[in-house]
Amino acid sequence: MSIERTLILIKPDGVERQLTGTILSRIEAKGYRLAELKQVSATRELLEEHYEEHVGKPFYEPLVEFMLSGPVVAIIAEGHRVIEGFRSLAGTTDPTTAAPGTIRGDLGRDWGLKVQQNLVHGSDSTESAAREIGIWFS
């Protein structure tokens, strides 16, 4: 199997809470290589492309507003099976019930808002990884 690449974002809650180093360490400790890394302030246009699959869902607008609330760190991580490996390391979407041992499960929780502030994004397939890498690192 060839080396894969995935798009990871440290969301504004992770940057704001100064968890960038902790999260990068966990990605590296798992054995993935950080091929590209930058801190960026997303635009609405970029987020509309990134989250196009969620347009029209009740959490879509709060999600976009949250992602605009501060800088994010965009990462391309590399390694064998990194797409599923990082999804596993991140944990399930809801940080309250994400398994302990995962990034979301150890570091996140429900803050009572309309959107899950769950610290990280990871591409969910080879197709979305290629698409999302193109959006964030064009």
Binds ligand DAT by CB under 6 A, chosen from 25, 39, 41, 93: 93
Q: How far apart are CA 131 and CA 111, in angstroms?
A: 30
3-class DSSP state of 50 = helix
Please name the residue that has the structure tokens 């199997």.
Answer: 1
To ligand DAT, the closest distance from the beta carbon of 73 in angstroms equals 15
**Residue 118 engages ligand DAT in binding (rule: CB under 6 A):** yes
Q: Which DSSP category does 43 fall into?
A: -
**Residue 26 engages ligand DAT in binding (rule: CB under 6 A):** no
Cβ–Cβ under 8 Å, residues 127 and 117:
no
Cβ–Cβ under 8 Å, residues 48 and 67:
no
**Residue 63 engages ligand DAT in binding (rule: CB under 6 A):** yes
Binds ligand DAT by CB under 6 A, chosen from 83, 116, 119, 133: 116
Q: How many CA atoms lie within 13 A of 61 on its CB side?
A: 2
Binds ligand DAT by CB under 6 A, chosen from 115, 119, 129, 133: 115
Residue 121 falls in the annotated catalytic set: yes
Task: Provide the annotated binding site.
Answer: 11, 59, 87, 93, 104, 118
Catalytic amino acids?
Answer: 121
